[in-house]
Amino acid sequence: MADNVEDPGPHADYILDRPIQPVTGLRQGLPNYGDPHFALFLRKVFIKALGYSEDALSRPIIGIINTFSGFNPCHANVPQLVEAAKRGVQLAGGLAMEFPTISVHESFSSPTSMFLRNLMSMDTEEMIKAQPVDACIVIGGCDKTVPAQLMGGLSANKPVLPLITGPMMPGSFKGERIGACTDCRNNWAAYRGGSLDIEDIAALNEELAPTGGTCGVMGTASTMACITAALGMIPLRGGATAPAVSSARLRIAEQTGSNAVAAALAKRTPQKVLSAASFHNAITVLQAIGGSTNGIVHLLAIANRHPAVRGTITLDLIDKIGQQTPLLVDLKPSGNNYMTDLHNAGGMPALLERLRPLLKLEALTITGKTLGEALDAENFKPFPLSAQIIRPLDNPLYPASSLVVLCGNLAPDGAVIKASASKDRRLLQHRGRAVVFAGPQDLANRIDDPDLQVDADSVLVLQGIGPVGFLSPGMPEAGLIPIPRKLATQGVGDMLRLSDGRMSGTAGGSIVLHISPEAALPESVLGIVENGDVIVCDVEKRLLQLEVSDEEIQKRIADRQQRLDGKKECRGPADKRRQPTRGYRGLYERCVTQAQDGVDFDFLAADGADALERRLGSS
Ligand code: FES
């Protein structure tokens, strides 16, 4: 303390005519009792019940969000990560405070995990804002958790540091490596097609997820981990790829603890770190890894939470960057390997080094270094395995555009296909007759009907699984429409399939997703497609077209509106007007945006206040 400034002494917080300062640590975000000194006094009363000293309470407070759940095996290692992160915080002179938020796992979230992503983002945002943390480590891994935490962290705008749980190890079946979830789907399809027996499928069930951690292929969880590294939010080395059960993962956690203290002292918030350049890098990595189509929806939602970036990250931009970016990473479902292979091949430093000419190296990272400086510090040198798993730019796995954005009268606001995961590339330029299913129940009822009018050239169309949906909201991962059993048993392995829903990042096939506007909206063209209509999909031309005249389309839309209004007889789920629903589901159905805007709630985006104004104005 300078000589001429009076030391307020150890009880400064209780001097009533002195403003409470500095407004950091425990002194921030006091509950409103109309007497801030009393609020701080009371807060200290309660925190001391846990045995903390004034010295401990004077340190930068680093929150650690614990998302362990008995229903989330992808987060099985969270208790160990919390301990390691705490060690890192405390070694760096901070005080670690652990607290929970909700945890979302793919297989334990009904109707779908996507329905809960926005709830988790709200939980994350509000708890970071409400509690006196100077920075916060957010531990996530399973598909929706990392985007939820990035969305919430961006909106809370305190320093936020993701800590990824990490991928699971691959398993083994009859000598072959297997892993969730690409091999779950492939083997299930083989079982449906009759080439696997019931003993085999039961044995596979034991081995597909042999350890805790996230799915071991380039599914959504791995995609979001790589994207988070490309955004500069986690350590480049190991942050995205170190296996969940490795000691490297624990060291990443410790490092994240010390990084959090530094970010707290520098007040390095996500809105300061992230920029349009960061998102450019994230999209480049998404394309180069053949990432999950879900990554597109999540990136759009994350970008739209940022006041300076909102609206600049679009489907068009994602497609444009894709045209310049080859697919380099040889992982399932686009390639053959597993996340542990990517890690052993050098992980993100190796990939980013390969992509250097395509990246915006001036983008900041959470450590305060630019991405270029962080890469220089890694000084990665390729070795034989790295060249095998991460191809050079001039010898890619797929030349460009692993993820393609389609447009046309069937998807005026866009649709997405993971072209690199197509199993029958002829289908990327295809013209066929529609076989339409009005929602998942109709699909389940009829897909294996021996009398279904379908052949290998048909285009399977599933309506009603968009963000709002016909019967149930949440944009389920039902876009991987199964091949009708009568065709599967004849050896048909891929067909052109269309929907307004999503698909697991671990899945593959010629599958068009995220068609917008979704079929549940009265103006949707997808909602009026009929059996026998001709559909053209041309990936090269970015086209998704219904070969029906504009007049006929408008007539069908007008007819459907009459059925929705009860003026004509209802023909199925597409014609049923939704009854208003209470609670979170009601909020979701009223406020969720379409795929091209990230399926966030309109009022949570950076301009969310305008959405509320619009809503109030129209009520
Ligand atoms: Fe959690 Fe796949 S189910 S990452």
CATH number of the domain where residue 427 is located: 3.50.30.80
- Looking at the structure, tell me whether residues 504 and 587 fall in a common domain: no
C-alpha 388/C-alpha 203 separation (Å) is 31
Beta bridge partners of 511: 497
Q: Is 134 touching ligand 1 by the criterion CB < 6 Å?
A: no
Q: Is 215 touching ligand 1 by the criterion CB < 6 Å?
A: yes
| CA of 42 relative to ligand 1 center, distance in Å | 42
Please state the separation of Cα 531 from the chain's center in Å.
33
Q: Is 505 touching ligand 1 by the criterion CB < 6 Å?
A: no
Q: Is residue 396 part of a domain?
A: no
Amino acid symbol at 522: P
Q: Is 221 touching ligand 1 by the criterion CB < 6 Å?
A: yes
Q: Is residue 512 part of a domain?
A: yes
Q: Show which of 32, 57, 82 is a domain's final residue.
A: 57
- What is the pLDDT at residue 508? 85
Kindly report the number of other CB atoms within 10 A of residue 81's CB atom: 29
- Looking at the structure, tell me whether residues 311 and 450 fall in a common domain: no
Q: Is 351 touching ligand 1 by the criterion CB < 6 Å?
A: no
Mutating to test ligand 1, I would choose from 214, 218, 292, 503 the residue with most ligand atoms within 8 A of its C-beta, which is 214
Mutating to test ligand 1, I would choose from 69, 74, 146 the residue with most ligand atoms within 8 A of its C-beta, which is 74
Q: Is residue 126 part of a domain?
A: yes
Q: Is 158 touching ligand 1 by the criterion CB < 6 Å?
A: no
Which residue puts its alpha carbon closest to atom 1 of ligand 1? 142
Place of tokens 């979830």: 181
* Contact assessment for residue 236 and residue 352, using Cβ atoms and an 8 Å cutoff: yes
Closest CA to 565 of 527, 528, 522: 522
Q: Show which of 57, 77, 107 is a domain's final residue.
A: 57
| Enclosing H/E stretch for 163 | strand 160-164
**Cα 408–411–413 angle (5° rounding)?**
105
| CA of 26 relative to ligand 1 center, distance in Å | 36
Q: Is 119 touching ligand 1 by the criterion CB < 6 Å?
A: no
- What is the pLDDT at residue 10? 86
| 216 half-sphere exposure, CB direction, 13 A CA radius | 25
Residue 16: exposure state from Cβ atoms within 10 A (0-12, 13-18, ≥19): exposed
C-alpha 73/C-alpha 169 separation (Å) is 13
Kindly report the number of other CB atoms within 10 A of residue 176's CB atom: 9
SS3 of the chain: helix, strand, coil, percent, to 5: 40, 15, 45
**Ligand 1 atom with minimal separation from the 105 CA:** 1
C-alpha 510/C-alpha 498 separation (Å) is 9
- Looking at the structure, tell me whether residues 131 and 188 fall in a common domain: no
- Looking at the structure, tell me whether residues 322 and 416 fall in a common domain: no
Q: Is residue 428 part of a domain?
A: yes
Spans in the chain with pLDDT lower than 50? 1-2
Q: Is residue 371 part of a domain?
A: yes
Q: Is 214 touching ligand 1 by the criterion CB < 6 Å?
A: yes
**Residue 528, token pair as written in the block:** 């009026």
Q: Is residue 11 part of a domain?
A: no
- Looking at the structure, tell me whether residues 116 and 265 fall in a common domain: yes
- What is the pLDDT at residue 1? 46
The two most distant CA atoms of the chain are separated, in Å, by 92
- Looking at the structure, tell me whether residues 266 and 337 fall in a common domain: yes
Domain that holds residue 184: 172-203
Q: What is the Cα Rg of the chain in Å?
A: 25
- Looking at the structure, tell me whether residues 369 and 220 fall in a common domain: yes
| CA of 220 relative to ligand 1 center, distance in Å | 8
Mutating to test ligand 1, I would choose from 105, 208, 502 the residue with most ligand atoms within 8 A of its C-beta, which is 105
Q: Is 403 touching ligand 1 by the criterion CB < 6 Å?
A: no
What's the pTM?
Answer: 0.96
C-alpha 223/C-alpha 584 separation (Å) is 28
Which residue puts its alpha carbon closest to atom 2 of ligand 1? 215
Q: Is 105 touching ligand 1 by the criterion CB < 6 Å?
A: yes
**Ligand 1 atom with minimal separation from the 73 CA:** 1
Kindly report the number of other CB atoms within 10 A of residue 165's CB atom: 31
C-alpha 152/C-alpha 120 separation (Å) is 8
- Looking at the structure, tell me whether residues 238 and 373 fall in a common domain: yes
| Enclosing H/E stretch for 80 | helix 78-91
Closest CA to 578 of 473, 500, 493, 497: 473
| CA of 105 relative to ligand 1 center, distance in Å | 7
- Looking at the structure, tell me whether residues 286 and 384 fall in a common domain: yes
Q: Is residue 397 part of a domain?
A: no
**Ligand 1 atom with minimal separation from the 220 CA:** 4
| CA of 396 relative to ligand 1 center, distance in Å | 27
Q: How many domains are there within the chain?
A: 5
Q: Is 143 touching ligand 1 by the criterion CB < 6 Å?
A: yes
Mutating to test ligand 1, I would choose from 139, 169, 215 the residue with most ligand atoms within 8 A of its C-beta, which is 215
Place of tokens 């805007």: 597
| CA of 601 relative to ligand 1 center, distance in Å | 23
- Looking at the structure, tell me whether residues 437 and 515 fall in a common domain: yes
- Looking at the structure, tell me whether residues 147 and 164 fall in a common domain: yes
**Ligand 1 atom with minimal separation from the 221 CA:** 4
Mutating to test ligand 1, I would choose from 104, 109, 114, 142 the residue with most ligand atoms within 8 A of its C-beta, which is 142
For 514, left (φ over 0), alpha (ψ -120 to 50), or beta? left
| Enclosing H/E stretch for 328 | none
Q: Is residue 4 part of a domain?
A: no
Beta bridge partners of 543: 407, 538
- Looking at the structure, tell me whether residues 180 and 110 fall in a common domain: no
